[in-house]
Amino acid sequence: MKVFLNGQFVPAEQAVVSAFDRGFLYGDGLFETLRVMNGVPLDWGGHWRRLADGAEMLKLKLPFASDFLRAQARELSRQNELSDAILRLTLSRGVGQRGYSPRGADAPTFVMSLHPAPELGPQTPQWKLHTASLRVPFADALTACKSANKLLHVLARAEAEAAGADEALLLNTRNEVVEAASANVFWIEGGTLHTPPISAGALPGITRAWVLDWASSGQLPTSESRAGLDRLLRADACFLTLSSWGLIEVVAIDNQAVPTALLTSVIRERLLADWRRQVKRLE
């Protein structure tokens, strides 16, 4: 397996970073995860914009331009003979002086790696959720970027798995629904498609944005709504969006069954069709 590390393709066993890298020491960095289909990185523009916005917020230097990295991502897919995969982009502030001050950390670390992708079968995947005991801080500006510090999400996922669930559902410190550990949350209620607002603490997901754009184009009404857990449990249907899987249907929350709806499969099929169009256009 080859990895793109700081401008070079190197064998995975040689793709190492310093023990003094601030990404390792403090989670001082960002990452993006996106799907590669037939060698084409999907929704590259949206992921790049989020990475660039996060880098600006954290005052991180992006060492390469978007078009160059997109070409290198395709080359990484070719060299690894892995045309369908998950691509991870990782940006760290790099090595600096000991302590929290970022002074002296002027050479960022940038990595792209490929990983096995879940199969996109004809049936919509179904997951069970467990509400995590940890809470996302309300109105925390850092939740708007995909930082390398994901300890809350790691612990939430571990708690969910221990409870026999597939994924963790996260609430904020106001007990409002925010997101899943690795996905955005939607629910259907009274013919309207709802999702928590970014201000509740949700990550501005790329697939989340696609669903909202698709629905707003005349498909069905949408609302960015604050809601407690009880509202999800009363919804007509609930689903998750994430770049690796596309769309996943929620069938239970905290061992309570959640209704399903044909509409979730319709949305998923429209999303997959858009992915296939991207591939055809960029091949």
pLDDT digit string, tens, across residues 67-126: 999 999 999 999 999 999 999 999 999 999 999 999 999 999 999 999 999 999 999 999
Q: Long-range pairs for 60-67 at CB < 8 Å and ≥24 separation?
A: 60/29, 60/30, 60/91, 60/93, 60/108, 61/106, 61/108, 62/91, 62/108, 62/110, 63/6, 63/7, 63/108, 63/110, 64/7, 64/110
Q: What is the pLDDT of residue 195?
A: 98
Q: How confident is the model at residue 218 (pLDDT cuts 50, 70, 90)?
A: confident
Kindly state the average pLDDT of the residues 154-164: 98
The residues of the chain that CATH labels 3.20.10.10 are 126-279
What is the tens place of the pLDDT at every residue in 4-44?
999 999 999 999 999 999 999 999 999 999 999 999 999 99
Q: Percent of the chain having pLDDT more than 70?
A: 100
Instruction: Flag whether pLDDT at 130 surpasses 80.
Output: yes
pLDDT at residue 17, as a whole number: 95
CB atoms within 10 A of CB 202: 24
Q: CATH topology for 126-279?
A: D-amino Acid Aminotransferase; Chain A, domain 2 (3.20.10)
Where in the sequence of the chain do the CATH 3.30.470.10 domains occur?
2-116
What is the predicted pLDDT for the residue at 283? 75
- The secondary element (H helix, E strand) that includes residue 35 is strand 29-37
The highest-level CATH class for domain 2-116 is: alpha beta
Q: Phi, psi (5° rounding) for residue 264?
A: -65, -40
pTM of the model: 0.95
